[in-house]
A = this chain, B = another copy of it.
Amino acid sequence: MVEDQAIEIAEIFHLLGDPTRLRIVTCCLEEPRNVGEIAETVGVSASLVSHHLRLLKATRLVRADRRGKQVFYVAADEHVQKVLKDMMDHVAEQHREAP
């Protein structure tokens, strides 16, 4: 892997590498969720959610869609879902090896 690829891919991993941000992404993985919903589900302030969503949107991990006063966010594409699934498999495997 060359430097440029590494930087680009690492940037995405880095975004998923924060617990709050990861929960925000998984929260709007199945269907679009507005900021208030996400904040309540994750258990943090709307302000913090908004800050994180700005980063996620900038790297196109989520897309925004305003409907009236609310803004709905949804995870970008199916690759993210696959990545998350593989990672959950990895963690599950770990636990099977060392319970």
Contact = CB atoms under 8 A, between A and B. Distances in A.
A8 to B, nearest CB: 6
Contact of A86 (B14, B82, B88, B91): B82
B79 A9 contact: no
Interface residues of A, number: 36
A80 B91 CA distance: 10
Given A86-B79, A89-B79, A3 B17 contact: no
Interface of A: 1, 3, 5-19, 21-23, 26, 60, 77, 79-80, 82-84, 86-91, 93-94
Contacts of A91: 5, 8-9, 12
20 contacts: A5-B91, A6-B19, A6-B22, A6-B23, A7-B19, A9-B22, A9-B87, A10-B16, A10-B21, A10-B22, A13-B13, A13-B14, A13-B17, A13-B87, A14-B14, A14-B17, A14-B18, A15-B17, A17-B17, A60-B94
